[in-house]
């Protein structure tokens, strides 16, 4: 094991700025998967479970979503919520039982609601309720991607060390080019955030600036809905 006195942020910057770093690259058509941008995780003024890395994160998510709609490409939003009994949270929900616990994000609660700052098109966009970290786990996401014939998955939301990472691993495992715009993901602590961005960049995804993603989208060819 290599030892270092560098911070997770410093290690990340070294990796991301390495000119020899290989990329998977963009494909021909993408899906935008916005993972759990709900009040439990975005409203730092209301909930202890919320976090913010880049203060413009939700603005960037809205910008990307508009670009995807312009292209006729799918926009997906996920959120988590559980029954009063929390039995649908499974073993994941058993570690704690406090007002801030995962299992206590109940249906119709404020914590389960999408952030009001988000521009969600409830006619054109796809919304999935998920129970576990990966957006692929027991949702219809895989079928949607097959239907739209996409080869690239772009991920936003949180947390970087949890649901973003889990979805990125599942995405790569299913054969998709996976992109994480750095300014569009967040975590509770910068160590978790940058350590996982580093791991994602080295193994599972291309971690890029949101500007680079927007530049690619601006040059992409629009496609009609099937």
Asked if residue 139 lies in contact with residue 171, where contact means CB atoms within 8 angstroms, the answer is: no
Output the CA torsion 144→147→149→152 (10° steps): 0
Asked if residue 85 lies in contact with residue 76, where contact means CB atoms within 8 angstroms, the answer is: no
Asked if residue 81 lies in contact with residue 106, where contact means CB atoms within 8 angstroms, the answer is: yes
Its sign, for the CA torsion 163, 67, 26, 152, is positive
What contacts 105, CB < 8 A, 6 or more positions away? 38, 40, 80, 81, 82, 111, 112
Query: How many C-beta atoms lie closer than 10 Å to residue 138's C-beta?
Result: 10
Q: Any idea what the Cα angle at residue 42 is, between residues 40 and 43, rounded to 5°?
A: 75
Is 163 marked active-site? yes
What contacts 58, CB < 8 A, 6 or more positions away? 37, 42, 115, 117, 118
Q: Which of 163, 168, 180, 208 is catalytic?
A: 163
Cα 28 to Cα 23, 168, 179: the distances in Å are 15, 18, 13
Catalytic residues: 163
């Amino acid at each position: 094991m290599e030892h270092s006195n560098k911070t997770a942020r410093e290690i990340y910057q070294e990796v991301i700025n390495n000119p020899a770093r290989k990329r998977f690259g963009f494909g021909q058509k993408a899906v935008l998967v916005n993972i759990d941008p709900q009040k439990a995780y975005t409203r730092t003024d209301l909930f202890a479970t919320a976090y913010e890395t880049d203060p413009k994160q939700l603005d960037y998510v809205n910008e990307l979503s508009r670009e995807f709609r312009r292209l006729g490409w799918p926009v997906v939003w996920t959120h988590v919520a559980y029954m009063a009994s929390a039995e649908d949270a499974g073993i994941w929900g058993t570690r704690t039982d406090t007002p801030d616990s995962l299992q206590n994000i109940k249906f119709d609660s404020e914590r389960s609601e999408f952030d009001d700052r988000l521009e969600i098109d409830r006619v054109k966009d796809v919304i999935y309720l998920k129970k576990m970290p990966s957006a692929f786990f027991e949702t219809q996401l895989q079928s949607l991607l097959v239907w739209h014939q996409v080869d690239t998955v772009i991920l936003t939301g949180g947390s970087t060390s949890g649901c973003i990472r889990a979805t990125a691993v599942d995405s790569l495992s299913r054969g998709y080019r996976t992109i994480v715009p750095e300014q569009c993901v967040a975590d509770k602590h910068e160590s978790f955030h940058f350590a996982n961005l580093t791991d994602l960049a080295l193994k599972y995804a291309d971690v890029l600036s949101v500007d680079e993603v927007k530049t690619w989208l601006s040059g992409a060819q629009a496609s009609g809905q099937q």
